Each structure stands twice: as C-alpha cells, then as structure tokens.
Amino acid sequence: MSPDASAAQGERCNIASALPALAAQSPERIAMRCPGTRRADGLAAYDVALSYGELDRRSDAIAAGLAARGIVRGTRTAVMVRPSPEFFLLMFALFKLGAVPVLIDPGIDKRALRQCLDEAAPEAFIGIPLAHIARVVLGWAKSARIRITTGRYAFLADDTLQRIERAGAGAASQLADTRADEVAAVVFTSGSTGVPKGVVFRHRHFVAQIEMMGEAFGLMPGGVDLPTFPPFALFDPALGLTSIIPDMDPTRPAQADPVKLLDAIHRFGVDQLFGSPALMAVLARHGQPLPGVKRVTSAGAPVPPDTVAALRELLPRDAQFWTPYGATECLPVAVIEGRELQSTRAATERGAGTCVGRPVPRNEVRIIRIDDAPIEQWSDDWVLPAGAVGEITVAGPTATDSYFRRDAATRSAKIREVRDGVERIVHRMGDVGYLDEEGRLWFCGRKTHRVETAHGPLYTEQVEPVFNTHPKVRRTALVGTGAFGAQQPLLWVELHDPRTPSAECERIAGELRAIGAQFAHTAGIERIRFHPGFPVDIRHNAKIGREKLAAQAAPG
C-alpha cells in the first residue's frame, strides 16, 4: 500500500513494519554481516551476523528496554554509533517505538556537530564510549536527560545497551501504531552544500523511499547488498536483502581498500553494490572483475564518465549501473542507467550538462526561473519550457516538508502548492538544470555555484566537463570573482600528477584555453590556476568545495 493510501485510511505507517513479516517468513535468513575479528591474512572474518529473526526479536527487546528507560514515542534520540549490529538494532528499535532518531554525519567539523546537536536538542543520547567522552568534554547534547552507552560499563552514561536489551528480553512486538505524518527521524545534511540542516523525515517519506527505490532499481528479496554508506543499509532489511557491512571507514570512501571490498563481494556472493563516485573510482582503478555483481548504484555527485566506462568493463554484460539523482531532502528524484549515461557523454563534454535520467514515477519535476529569494506559493507562471536552464523543483511522496528549527531555510527551500483543494510541498533542489524534449533531466550545477558574468550566467556542470577532456586533467572547478552580475570566471585545475612542473602547467593552461575556445560559453574563460588537491565533502568525498576555492581565488 502506498503511503498516501495508508495516510488516507489511517493505517500504521512505519519503515520497521516489514521486519516482523520477513522474520516470520524467513527467520534464519541473514539480515546483515559485519566485519568482526581478523583472519590470519588480515582480512575481516565477518563473523558477526544477525538473522532476520534475531534482528526482529532483539530490536523488540531493546525497544522494550528503552521504553522502560523513558525513550518512547516522539523522544528525540541522538544516535552516535558506528556501523555495527548495535547501530541497526538500535535504529529498528527506535523506529518500532516511534521514537525520533537524530542522525549526524560523524566526520563533520566538531563545531558543526555541536551546532547540530544544539539545534536538535535531543532528549536522549545513545553512543559509543568515545562519543560520551566527547559529549562531556565538548559539551554536546546538554539537553539529553537519558544517556546510554554501547560500551561494557556505564561510564559517563546512565546505562549500557546490553543491560537495556537484557531488561527487555522476551518482549512481545513493540511496533507502535505510528501514522504517516508522524516525525520518524531528523537527519542532518553533511553541510557539503551549505550549513548542515536537520531534515525532518515523516514515516510516509521513509516508506515511500523504500517503495520507489525498489521499483526504480528492480530490487527483490533475497539479494545480497554491499552498502558502503551506512544509512542506506537501513533500507535493506525492509527490502528483504542481506547487507554485508564493508570493512572501511564510511566517512572516507576515497581511501577504501579495494582488496577488502572485493573479498567481501566474492566471499558472500554480493550481487548489488551501493557507493559514492569516490568509491566507484577506487574499484575502477583497481581493475579487478566483479563477475557476480548484477546491480551497482552510485549517488552523491555526478559519476565521472571514465569511471562509469571502466566499471562497465568490470561488470557482467547484463549488469546495471544506476546513478540516481536526489538529495537528503528528496530521494530518489530521477535515475539513469550507465549505458544511457555513456551515450550522453559526448553532449556532456560539449557543455550540455550531465544527464541524470528520467524522473522516478510519482515524482513531478519542473524547472522554474532562477530566483534566490523564498517563494511562498507555487505559480505555473514560473515554469520554463523544455531546454531552458532554471532551478530544479520536485513534488512527490519523498519530498520532505521542513528543516528542524530552521524556519528561514524551510521558507527558502519549500514552496506550497494547492491543486484541486489539496496542498502539497514542492522542494527546491538548489540545483540548476533543464528538461529536454524527451523528458530527461539534465543537471547543470548548484544554483549557488553559478557564475554571473556581465554576459550572462555560467554553470559548473556545463563548463567543467569541457575542460575535463584534457588527458592530464583529473578535474576542474569553475568559480567567479568580483561583484555578482559582473563576475570574472576562473578555472581551478587539479591534475592527475600534482607534482607537474610549473612550465608544464603553463603549457597545459594554453591547451585548456584552446579547448574552451571551441564553444561559445567557455571561450571567455582565460584565467586558469592549478591546485594540488581540491577540498571535497566528507560524506561522499566527491562534491568539490567551490566556496573554499572561490575564497582562495579572491584578491587579498
């Protein structure tokens, strides 16, 4: 049943509701495996596993124990636990209770992390021992009146998760009668495209994500997934999949060891893989075949064409390579398969932008004229025709409606639309792009990253791919200097070899100017500077920190 239908009929709506049914149907099926101890060869033994029956039973026990401690329906609970059985047991326990987990990227700047916790004002704090030390030393989450540790002893905490689970052992089902519009979680953005903001997820948003991702990618129960971004692993049990939690630091996918990833893939028959473009690049450079993998999904930033081409060579001929487009606030929005992405590569390298595919069914994607001010009420007068670049908007079941305690950000990103007496939220993606005559969506960059020159705007994803065709260039970044409306474009260049001598850099700069001269929109880009290594986001290690590069380019 769709979340809309569930809401209309007043039925229970909860991401954890599929777990009891799956546990009853296949109690011994493995829901997840985690690295655990080391073998003699140094690789992970993956000797920590949870079956569907155990995940359901133990999450019920933890839920009952948490409820006895005062964590109940609606309790905001900061969760600072590494990818582990404890993390997944906790998350499903909290969802079952109808409590509200607060999730923050652990790798973000510590000052930003404290700010996120202050904004969320959690009533409970569950974390590893190190998180509790930081909580006390750095003054995190002073609002938390309930403090639980995953450690063996209740050091700096009120209780341990082990004792909580023992206290609830044997509990009956704890699945709360949550409704579609109840708040399910507060998930903070990484801050890679601005200040981290707490996205308010309602239960209907999570349920819709499960349905839409399953339909878009053809996910079927019984598959084995290697989700290298932990929050996505939460979807696997709801889809009837087995998760193999990889032996890697999820905040640094670019530093993942491909040998460890391939060991897990081969040992457990992984047939689907999720990862950021940075992780895909790691596997592509390693160059070892992935014979059993039937489906790869990469999100977080555009996947470089060379990476797509290289991975396609390593996958079976019938394998699918999906690159969904979306954001924390709304996912999935559109999807494209690798073969179609490769077929649009030539257009991308001529400045067309990056094709991100067709909108996922039930989403309505529309392009409106660019405006940096809030828009309170939707008007069809704002909508641009096919081929015109504007701001990407989406309305659909997964489009969230607010940020937690960030009214100004909510007003800037959300538009209220009323059709036939029914109100819905239109989310402004903060990206620019266009729809072509075939109904495909093309991404042209972040709205805040556009360079407004005296001759008109320049968009990063229509400029940078033109220059990225140079064989010695790893990637480029367009920034603007000067007054908005009269900005001067500047192209930062990161080479494959950061030790390239300055004389060689000068020669490459001349060649780049010659490449740019072939196209009207890049012909005026004369200023070129070289950078040893671009700043990138923490979550996916793929989004370029253009704000920092613009500051470095500014005079003085």
Boundary (domain end) residue, out of 445, 467, 484: 445
How confident is the model at residue 503, as a pLDDT?
96
Q: Are residues 427 and 464 in the same domain?
A: no
Q: Report residue 541 as tokens.
A: 């290690």
Q: Are residues 102 and 157 in the same domain?
A: yes
Q: Among all chains, which residue has been given the structure tokens 């992984």?
A: 270
547 vs 167, 259, 373, 429, 478, CA distance in Å? 50, 35, 20, 18, 10
Q: Are residues 422 and 462 in the same domain?
A: no
Q: Are residues 333 and 441 in the same domain?
A: yes
> Is 322:335 a contact under the CB 8 Å cutoff?
yes
> Is 389:437 a contact under the CB 8 Å cutoff?
no
Q: Are residues 95 and 154 in the same domain?
A: yes
Q: How many domains in the chain?
A: 3
Q: Are residues 97 and 168 in the same domain?
A: yes
Boundary (domain end) residue, out of 215, 240, 256: 215
Q: Are residues 190 and 63 in the same domain?
A: yes
For 448-543, where are the alpha helices, taking DSSP H only?
Answer: 460-467, 502-516
369 vs 185, 384, 391, 393, 454, CA distance in Å? 32, 6, 6, 10, 19
How confident is the model at residue 193, as a pLDDT?
60
How confident is the model at residue 540, as a pLDDT?
62
Q: Residue ranges of the chain with pLDDT lower than 70? A: 1-10, 107, 192-194, 538-541, 556
How confident is the model at residue 192, as a pLDDT?
64
Q: Are residues 459 and 382 in the same domain?
A: no
Boundary (domain end) residue, out of 174, 190, 215: 215
130 falls within a domain? yes
Q: Are residues 462 and 505 in the same domain?
A: yes
**Distance, CA of 409 to CA of 392 (rounded, Å):** 17
Q: Report residue 420 as tokens.
A: 């036939």
Q: pLDDT per residue over 30-65, tens digit each?
A: 999 999 899 999 999 999 999 999 999 999 999 999
**Distance, CA of 358 to CA of 441 (rounded, Å):** 6
CATH number at residue 513: 3.30.300.30
237 falls within a domain? no
122 falls within a domain? yes
Q: Are residues 85 and 199 in the same domain?
A: yes
For residue 355, give its domain range: 324-387+398-445
Q: Are residues 210 and 63 in the same domain?
A: yes
132 falls within a domain? yes
CATH number at residue 97: 3.40.50.980
> Is 180:13 a contact under the CB 8 Å cutoff?
yes
The model carries a pTM of: 0.92
6 falls within a domain? no
Residues 6+ apart with CB under 8 A from 198: 102, 116, 119, 120, 186, 187, 188, 403, 404, 405, 406
Q: Are residues 427 and 472 in the same domain?
A: no
125 falls within a domain? yes
